[in-house]
Structure 1
C-alpha cells in the first residue's frame, strides 16, 4: 500500500487503517489464521476476537486448536470451519500472508469476494489487502494485535491480555530468540500490567501427555547428525504414531527440542505422510531456516520455517540436502565476509 504522498505508510498509519476498517465494518468479521496453529496464531485470533466482541461486533473465529493449546479458549469462542462465508463479512487474516489461501485455515479464502485485512510479521508477505499491518521486524503477530487493541479503544482486561501474551511468549521462545528487542519487553510489560497470566501460561505449556514421551522415544531412534554435526534431523511416520498412541500434533514441539543440540545450526523434523513430507525447520546464527523452506516451496521466518514437499521421503531428502548445503555455504561465506 502507498500513502497519499507516494510514500509507504508508517507502522502507526497501518495500525490506524486496520483499526478503522475493523471498527467501521457493519457486518460480521471472520478472524482467521494459518493451518496447524501455534501459540501466536491462537493468541492473536483470541485476543482480537475478544476485543472486537467487546465493541459489539459479530465475530466468527473458526480454528482447530491443537491439544497443547486447548487450555486457553473458552467454550464457544472458536468454531468449526466455515462451509460458506456469511453475507457482508470482512476477513481478518492474522499471522499468515493472505496471498496464500492454501495456508489459511477455517475458511476457503480463495472463494471469498469481500474485503480482507491482514496482520502479519512474515517477510514473505506480498502486502495485498484492503488494509495491512505487516512488519517483519516484529517478533510476534500478537504484539501487533496489542497495538490494534489500543487503536480500537477497547478497554483492556486479563481475557484480552493473556492470549496476546501467549503469542508473544511462544513466538519469541519465551523471550530467548534474537528477534526480541527492547520494544518486545515493553509490550510484555504492558500486557502484564493489563493482567496477562504469564506464569499460568508457562505452567500450562510445560505439561506434556504420556504420548509425548512415548513418541519421543520413537523419534530419537531416527536421529541423524549431518553436515559435520551442524544439522540434526529426525523423521516421524504414521507407524511410529500408532505404536506410541500419539497424533501428528504431538510432533510439533520436537523441532525446538532438537534445536538445542550442541553445535547444531539447523534442526529438521520431517513428517513423512508417504506421498508427501512436511518439514519443520529451526535455525540459529547466520543460517536461515526461511531460505531452506523457500527453496522447497515453503516459507516462514529466518529462525523458524516450514515446507510441504509433494514427494516421498527418499526423493525429498535429495532436495532437502541440496537446499541445506546451499544455505550452509551462504552462511559460511557471510561469516567469512564474502
Structure 2
C-alpha cells in the first residue's frame, strides 16, 4: 500500500553551499527538491559586498546542472565595516535578500563577525528602513557561558536589546535549538521569525555523546536536551507561520569531521524532505508540512509561493539514501536519522 502527499515545491531558508569543488558536488542535492534557498555568506573570504554576492551567485548558477531550476537568494555577511549604502543598493537591485549576523567566533568561518554591536547600529537602522531582514546566528561566545546556554543568553543579552533599539527591524532567528527560542518567537510580533533545521527535529545531545562521540551529529548550535527537541517539533508542526524550514545543511568532508577537532555541521540536503515527512506524520501533522516547508518562508520574505509541486510517497520498504556524496575535495557523509524512513520524493 502506498500513501502520498503533494505540496508546493519547498524552499530552504538557511543553506551552506561552500564554493569550488564542494559547491559542484552539493548544489544538485538541494536543487533536486528545493526551488530557492537563502545562501550563507561565510566563505573564506566572506561575502561582504554587493559585488561579492553577485560574483558568488554567478558561480552558483554556473555549477547548476543542465535541466535543474534553482534560484540562490543571496545574503551579505555583516561586519563592523559593512557599508549601509552598498547594502541598500544590493537590496534595491533584488540581488540581496537578507544580511547574516555572526557573533565573532560562534561557528564555522565566523572570525570576521561582530564583536561590538554598537558599530553596526547604523547598518541595522538602514535595514529597518528598507525592510531587509537580519538573519542571526543566535549564540553568545563568552568563554564563561556554557555551550548549551548560549542561545538563551543571546536572546536576553543581544537579540532583545537589538530589536528594542531598532523598531521595525525584521529578524530571523536561525536554527533555533531551545524551548527558550520557541517561546521568545511566540511572544513577539510578525517582525520576528525562526528557522528550524531537519536534524534538530531528530537528534538531541545524547545522539552526539552516548556510546562514543558521533562527529556527523555534531553541529552548531549544538543539539540540546530532549525537552528542547520536543519543543522544536511542536513549533515546526504547529502551523505557526513564524516557524520556517531552514536546513542549515552544512557539508564538510569526512576528513574534516572525523578528526581531533572536527568541524560542526550536518549535511541534510539529500534527504531532508523525506525526513520531514516522517517527522510530520509521526506527529500527526502531515497536513501542515506544506506550511512549514513551502509557505511560511515566502510569507516572511515577501516572495511568492512556488507554483511547481513535489510529491512525497510512502511505501512498504524503507527508502535507501546514499551514505556519502563524493566531491573532488573528499566524501561528505549524508545525515543518518538512525531509524528507517519510508518516505521518498517521487
What TM-score results when the alignment is normalised by the length of structure 1? 0.29
Q: Which has the larger radius of gyration?
A: 1
Higher relative contact order (CA 8 A, sep 6+): 2
What TM-score results when the alignment is normalised by the length of structure 2? 0.28
